Structure 1
Amino acid sequence: MVLHTIENDPEYINLQAEMVKMQQWIKDSNKRLLVIFEGRDAAGKGGAIMRFIRFLNPRYYRVVALAKPTESEAGQWYFQRYIDKLPNAGEIVFFDRSWYNRAVVEPVMNFCTEDQYNLFLQQVTQLERMLVEDGIIIIKFWFSIDINEQKKRLEERKSNPLIQWKLSTVDMQAQLKWDDFTRYKELMFAKTGTKTCPWIVVKGNNKDNARKEAMRYVLENIDYSPKGLTGVRLKANTDIVSVLGI
């Protein structure tokens, strides 16, 4: 029933048609696009990615959702395993969580040391600047929900057998450590939101609105051609999407 509703929503269909045109332009012009999806647990990152890729050509995009580092990866330069997943020419890569694990989740959960955290903050903006200078288009989304909405979604994960696989040890701490997550999130915005790679904050309590406006933001900011032939609105609603950069 949910899929039926989505596929009969003309706004979704038109936005996804524009996504297909954008992907074709990226392929034909050998561009590289990296879209990073971050946010609190249950903020809607995975669902948003599913809307983005619904009709894309699977040959020219990848969704990257890395697991916990292996013992070998833990001994590498922190960014190394992410660098290996960056887009090739003509490709879109969607990061379902990213190197920004070290900015919020890891320090909150004591998965990294203070020195590792501080080194990350020093290096990440330099890395992103180099990637952009090399021609990679980077868009960084943060999906934002309030504490009550998160609680509702986490309870659904516990009770719904179709999505119980989404529950993790971090999920179980999300509500208890809400204020800690907030503190590190704000530090991340302040330290890593730049003119080159700003944070795009999406109000996510309403899933459909969040997904559509995130799609619009990408389409609005990529100069693909032909663009806008569906007639769907491509300018993101600034009441839902805001840009944080320094």
Structure 2
Amino acid sequence: MSKKSKKPANTKNAIVEPEDYKSALHDLQIELVKLQRHLIKNDLRILILFEGRDASGKDGVIKRITEHLSPRDTRVVALGKPSNRDTHSWYFQRYAAQLPATGEMVLMNRSWYNRAGVERVMGFCPKTEHEEFMQSVLPFERLLVNSGTQVFKYYLDISKLEQKSRLEARRDDPLKQWKVSPIDKTALRHWDDYSTARNEMFARTHSDDLPWHVVRADDKKQARLNVIRHLMSRVDCPEKDKHLAKADPETVFDYAKEHVQSGAIAP
């Protein structure tokens, strides 16, 4: 979506009825299977980065994408706290070890952009390391692209009210206790700091060849369906159903400064 394209409306997405959602998801997951067959047959590589605030729905989107894909050819990467060795190594080193081989799709639940978000806001890295990252990340990603890896960057965007609701629900749900972390407690308190860090990340790491795709994710079901639609619209897969590969432009759109100014991206 170019800067001249129609701006996404600042309204909530229409509610998806349960049966409609299940049917739409089923059809889109068939498209993903087609994509994987094409990926394996042609020795291609796909890397998908998912970023967003805590509780923005990254796990849910990733689960729906990978649910019916081959576990041998699909990997979800969610790295934990860096080890002492990691902190004394080239920043991208531990991520480089997780990159896809030919025929693989890798989905990163948070990625090297941790340095532009959580690490910056929480003071886990000095300003010099943050600046070094901001200057080197696009050249690093271009190396991947030039070597044959397709790279997609999605940012799941939610409102402050929605984040508060989800974090509270997470704390009260015994099946989601593994998601609770000390960082959760500071997420709302540092809302504005995260917004500032996010906006700088967008401004400095978005480019025509490596764009940030923003996903309005207050409606989880709409977000899941439209990420898959958008992904299918961007990949070359001869067998895909082009009618299904059309994302709602009010739900998924490329970053542009005016979207921050208009409130289409949560302030």
The normalised TM-score by structure 1 is 0.95
Separation in structure 1 between the aligned mates of residue 189 and residue 195 of structure 2, nearest angstrom: 12
Matched, 1:190 2:203: yes
Matched, 1:39 2:52: yes
Matched, 1:129 2:142: yes
What corresponds to 1:64 in structure 2? 77
Matched, 1:27 2:60: no
What corresponds to 1:176 in structure 2? 189
2:105 aligns to what SS in structure 1? strand
What corresponds to 1:240 in structure 2? 251
Q: Which moved more, 1:5-14 or 1:70-79?
A: 5-14
Out of 83, 89, 100, the position equivalent to 2:96 is: 83
List alignment gaps of at least 5 residues for structure 1.
none
Size of the aligned set, in residue pairs, is: 240
Q: How well do the aligned residues superpose, as a CA RMSD in angstroms?
A: 1.5
- The answer (yes or no) to whether the contact 2:21–2:221 under 8 Å persists in 1 is no
What corresponds to 2:11 in structure 1? none
What corresponds to 2:8 in structure 1? none
List alignment gaps of at least 5 residues for structure 2.
1-17, 258-267
What corresponds to 2:108 in structure 1? 95
Letter in 1 for 2:95: Y
CA spacing shift, 1:127–1:8, aligned 2, 3 Å: closer
Letter in 2 for 1:132: V
Displacement after TM superposition at 1:225 (Å): 2.4
CA spacing shift, 1:103–1:8, aligned 2, 3 Å: closer
Q: Deviations over 1:114-143 (max 9, x none)?
A: 000000001101101111111100000000
What corresponds to 2:227 in structure 1? 214
Identical positions, percent: 41
Q: Deviations over 1:202-245 (max 9, x none)?
A: 000000000100000111111112111xx862111101111127
CA spacing shift, 1:239–1:149, aligned 2, 3 Å: same
1:63 aligns to what SS in structure 2? strand
- The answer (yes or no) to whether the contact 2:77–2:108 under 8 Å persists in 1 is yes
Separation in structure 1 between the aligned mates of residue 41 and residue 142 of structure 2, nearest angstrom: 25
- The answer (yes or no) to whether the contact 1:26–1:90 under 8 Å persists in 2 is yes
The normalised TM-score by structure 2 is 0.87
Out of 43, 55, 61, the position equivalent to 1:48 is: 61
- The answer (yes or no) to whether the contact 1:6–1:12 under 8 Å persists in 2 is no
CA spacing shift, 1:6–1:89, aligned 2, 3 Å: farther
